[in-house]
Structure 1
Amino acid sequence: MALSDWEESSTARVVPPARPRKLAKVPFVELADGRLQGVVSSGSDIGRVYVSSIAAGDYTFACSTNNNRACGGARGSFCNHIRALVSESVLQYGAERVARYLRVEIVNAEPSVQSIIGGMTNTRPPQGDSKAAAPVFSRFLRHLAYLELAPTTAPLPEMQWFPPTRAVA
């Protein structure tokens, strides 16, 4: 069976964002581990970031600083960091995909940031703990480390654990 070009390459195919977005406010956003999660910059302190997440289905949310201090705005409802996370995720992935991933039922409207947040807040989401904060922040730091690498087509040593797909002649 012949492999396609991308299956034989050492790079992964990247899905382009739905719309361009600025990375200053929300530098990292992902749909992973059954959550919408990411890193959101503080509006008041340039050295502080928040790790925010919303669980798919029950919309349990958490928001804390990078050193695990609880967000003062996330007391019983979504804080501005979580709202910014949803907004940027819609730019990155598109409203339909975010709504589908979070399992938000949107009635009589096109999926949008407002309808997604409205669909989740109508169910009174519980505030959860920030167990996800450490792995999310760790992945964010790993992404930042890749930005410091010089552009090259040579293999990265940390990625060499992948088994070869075919014998090289």
Structure 2
Amino acid sequence: MIAPARPRKLAKVPFVELADGRLQGVVSSGSDIQRVYVSSVAAKDFAYTCSTNNNRPCGGLRGGYCNHIRALVTEAVVQYGVERVARYLRVEIAGADAGAADLVTAMTAARPSGGESSAAASVFSRFLRHLAYLELAPVTAPLPEMHWFPPTRAVA
């Protein structure tokens, strides 16, 4: 398990991951507390998708990245660091002081297209599964469904 590049606040983007050849995650709605958006950007071709948890397309997708995708990229950079996100997405960025805005600019220059929304269901399902772990009582006994995690060493 890799430690986050920096601690991040989970209110705006509660779930972000680099998986299945995409940067993907869940972004909270700015206007409705009960609505979230499932957003993703594919590696290499930067195809993107953003839809609500009810599979309605994001109104901000008008031929480019919406604010949800921009927030997702920003939080991914906080979580993983700009170098790791750029390497995963196969984005060429210049400068040691590059940030999330530079990633979005480089991806936009490649003229990405809207992608399939079929990934939204699996991303949202993984997010809900992560939330379920928060509802468990704190115990020191191992969880059978997490037996595949490697044992961790105590840091002195």
How far off its partner does 1:157 sit? 3.8
Superposed counterparts of 1:79-94, under 5 Å: 79-94=66-81
Superposed counterparts of 1:157-168, under 5 Å: 157-159=144-146
The question of whether the paired residues in 2 share the 8 Å contact of 1:99 and 1:111 is answered with no
Q: Name the residue aligned to 1:30.
A: 17
Q: Name the residue aligned to 2:43.
A: 56
How far off its partner does 1:114 sit? 1.2
Code of the aligned partner of 1:74: L
1:154 to 2:141 alignment: yes
Q: Name the residue aligned to 2:124.
A: 137
Q: Name the residue aligned to 1:77.
A: 64
Measured in 1, the distance between the counterparts of 2:136 and 2:68 equals 29
How far off its partner does 1:15 sit? 1.7
Q: Deviations over 1:10-32 (max 9, x none)?
A: xxxx3211011100000000000
Q: Name the residue aligned to 1:9.
A: none
TM-score where L is the length of structure 2: 0.90
* 5+ residue gaps, structure 2: 150-156
Measured in 1, the distance between the counterparts of 2:18 and 2:107 equals 16
Q: Name the residue aligned to 1:42.
A: 29
The question of whether the paired residues in 2 share the 8 Å contact of 1:50 and 1:65 is answered with yes
% identical equivalent positions: 74
- When Rg is computed on C-alpha atoms for both structures, the one with the higher figure is 1
Paired residue secondary structure (1:37): strand
The alignment's C-alpha RMSD in Å is: 1.6
Q: How many residues align?
A: 149
Measured in 1, the distance between the counterparts of 2:8 and 2:147 equals 32
The question of whether the paired residues in 2 share the 8 Å contact of 1:109 and 1:115 is answered with no
TM-score where L is the length of structure 1: 0.84
Code of the aligned partner of 1:150: A
* 5+ residue gaps, structure 1: 1-13, 163-169
How far off its partner does 1:106 sit? 1.3
Measured in 2, the distance between the counterparts of 1:125 and 1:161 equals 37
